[in-house]
Chains A and B, each alone.
Chain A
Amino acid sequence: MAKVLMKGNHALAEAAVRAGCRFFSGYPITPQSEILEYMSWRLPEVNGVFVQTESELAGISMLYGAASCGFRTMTSSSGPGFSLLQEGISYLCSTEIPTVIADIMRYGNGLGDIKPAQSDYLQITKNGGHGDYRCISLAPSTIQEAVDLMSKAYELAEKHRNPVIIATDGALGQIVESVEFPDPLQHDPDQFEWSLKNIREGKHKIVTSKIYYDYIGKDYDNHIRERYDAMKKEELWEEYFAEDAEVILVSYGIVSRCCKEAVLTARENGWKIGLIRPITLWPFPVKAFRKITPKAFIAVEKCALPQMAEDVAMAARGIAPVYSMTTGSFIPSGEEIVSFAQRVMDGKEAEL
């Protein structure tokens, strides 16, 4: 298929449909509403189901029902709406039902503001709901990458029987870029042993937490540990001039593009800066840190308080000190990032 110009949110929705998504239920909130709008007309074209629900709580609940039947499903939200999804995400993890959820992050606490942000990092990666779980979280940095990651998101969700979160932001959702789509996939909802079918198969099924039935008297605790240990092997990242770098920036999503500019700007001036760009926010790509020895790591993220920086600090233990550059309301320029790195090297910034 030829390249087309498309808005990020629309492209994400189209990519989901092409990956076999046939059910979307959700609620409007800026800056993700275009996903909802696109699905409202696109899914009926492919005999799929779209429902605009009374709340995000209802949206993810309806999705939970459809996903339990083996269908590829999706919902999306942002900010306060993403908080309301957490109840359902915890249930989807406990019942081991795969789905894909997109968080088009906006800025600020409470109602906050509609500008782009990366401030849901901790909520996305450290189980934002109750209990012990994680969601594999994919953070594309371009619209093309978002499209390319979509079928991978469903594959990972079904492989591990767990929700996968696509973590983008208001900038990636709203900008328009050229993108090429893959051919549509066919998904058979009846291929799974665990799903609810049209006819009861022998003994009845109960879609619920394993803590109640399958694992009574068995080792539920280790079952949970083994599930998430298996998911931890799915680390994905990009290295950008990292091998010989004196300073390594660590950044994802839209901000990683600014960091690439910073790397090039510094290198034009003879200073070797590099970038590690996590593609999976969880599992955080700790392996990327094992073969490099810079003098400093700088976590660059678009939030007010260090969030991903905490994971960078864990990954960088024993390698080099970690610094946090949080750009809050602003998308940083490459030059601002280089200046921050210079201050780090001059001893003018405090370690995290």
Chain B
Amino acid sequence: MTKELKTPTLIYTANTFCPGCGHGIISKLLALVLEELGIENKSTGAVAVGCACLLPESFGCDWIQAQHGRAPAVAAGIKRVRPNNFVFTYQGDGDAGAIGIAESIYAAKRNEGITTIFVNNGVFGMTGGQCAPTTLEGQKTTTTQAGCDYRYNGKPLELAELLASFDVGYVARGSVCNFKELWKTKEYIKEAVQCQLEGRGYSFVEVLAPCPTNWKMTPVESMKRIEDIGMKYFRCGVLKGGAE
């Protein structure tokens, strides 16, 4: 079986992410899904602070720049007055898992009719590679220069598991480390979008993504690190509300 690779029209110009960055891949999957479902003209994104905020420079749906961590609340405000739109947040791990964890939890607690794409690359990318809520044991970052120590930093936040404990529509975690996982992740995103379109409540897809720049690795090494280390800690699959 062959898969046809095409550039979605929502991607209106080349992105400005670093070479090998996961954002370019994940946003393309999202664009493909929105176009397959025919909702590219009625999609509104609340974009996080961090590398995510570069996305509107290449991705042509309507956007609002949320405050750091507040994207789920901003998106919920839009969804409640424009219930027929597809409304989503696009957030990194610092945004959704650290400064905005209250807003993340309450989007799930209220089962808001929005969708979150959560990009987990284990670092604060935009600010230069500091320790994130998702940084793994031994990982060197600019604020854990001897390697992340769980005794001081605690274990990585499993946001997908946390949100799946609420009465929400759909939760999954995928990865983009190889083509098999990539296409699975696209299906997770599609199911999350459909969950919202069918009015089944909050949907959330976490995606394990590479940050070669701040991991100080090549893009290929970064993908291998996700496969060998990241996916051992963060279990991929559907955690809640899979296809019936």
Q: Which residues of A contact B (CB under 8 A)?
A: 22-23, 25, 49, 51, 53-55, 57-59, 61-69, 71, 87-88, 91, 95, 189, 196-200, 203-209
CB pair B103–A49 under 8 Å, yes or no, is no
Q: Does B195 contact A (CB under 8 A)?
A: no
A61 and B70 form a contact (CB under 8 A)? yes
Complex contact B81–A53 (CB within 8 A): no
Q: Choose among A196, A204, A209 the residue that contacts B78 (Cβ–Cβ < 8 A).
A: A196
Assess A61 versus B81: contact at CB under 8 Å? Given A68-B64, A204-B61, A205-B62.
no
Contact A64 B41 (CB under 8 A): no
Q: How far is the CA of A22 from the CA of B75 in the complex (A)?
A: 17
- Chain A residues whose CB sits within 8 angstroms of the CB of B65 once the complex forms: 91, 95, 206-209
Interchain CA distance A68-B76 in the complex, whole Å? 12
Question: Which A residue's beta carbon lies closest to that of B73?
Answer: A61
* Interface size in chain B (residues, C-beta < 8 A): 34
In the bound assembly, the distance between CA atoms of A71 and B106 in angstroms comes to 23
Which chain B residue shows the least CB distance to A55? B102
Contact A61 B84 (CB under 8 A): no
Q: Is the CB of A65 within 8 A of B67?
A: no
In this complex, what residue of A is CB-closest to B43?
Answer: A200
B85 sits at the interface (CB 8 A): yes
In the docked arrangement, what's the CA distance between A63 and B73, Å? 8
Measured between beta carbons, the chain A residues less than 8 angstroms from B84 are: 198
Q: Please tell me if the beta carbons of A53 and B73 are within 8 angstroms of each other in the complex.
A: yes
Check B74 for interface membership: any CB of A closer than 8 A: yes
- The chain B residue with its CB closest to the CB of A205 is B62
Expressed in whole angstroms, the Cα–Cα distance for A87 and B62 within the complex equals 23
Q: Which residues of B contact A (CB under 8 A)?
A: 40-44, 46, 56, 60-67, 70, 73-82, 84-85, 102-103, 105-106, 109-110
Known: A198-B82, A198-B85. A63 touches B77 (CB 8 A): yes
Cβ contact within 8 Å between A64 and B74: yes
Residue in contact with A64 in the complex, picked from B56, B60, B77, B85, CB distance below 8 Å: B77
Residue in A22, A61, A198 whose CB lies within 8 Å of B74: A61
| Complex Cα–Cα for A23 and B73 (A) | 14
A49–B76 Cα gap in the complex (Å)?
A: 11
Roughly how many angstroms separate A54 CA and B76 CA in the complex, as a whole number?
A: 13
In the assembled complex, the Cα of A87 lies from the Cα of B103 at a distance in Å of 15
CB distance from A191 to the nearest CB of B (A): 15
Contacts of A23 in B (CB 8 A): 77, 80-81
* CA distance in complex: A223, B44 (Å): 27
Given A95-B65, A196-B64: A65 in contact with B42 (beta carbons within 8 A): no
A199 with B42, Cβ < 8 A, contacts A58-B70, A207-B63 known? yes
A199–B61 Cα distance when bound, in Å, is 10
Shortest C-beta distance, B95 to chain A (Å), equals 12
Contact check: which of A58, A69, A95, A197 meets B73 at CB < 8 Å? Answer: A58
Question: Which chain B residues lie closer than 8 Å to A196 at the CB level?
Answer: 44, 62, 64, 78, 82
A69–B81 CB distance below 8 A: yes
Most buried by B among A25, A53, A68, A203: A68
- A51-B76 Cα distance, complex, nearest whole Å: 10
Please list 15 pairs of residues, one from A and one from B, whose beta carbons are closer than 8 Å in the complex, sorted by A's number.
A23-B80, A49-B81, A53-B106, A58-B70, A59-B73, A61-B74, A61-B77, A62-B74, A62-B77, A65-B74, A66-B81, A68-B77, A69-B81, A200-B41, A200-B42
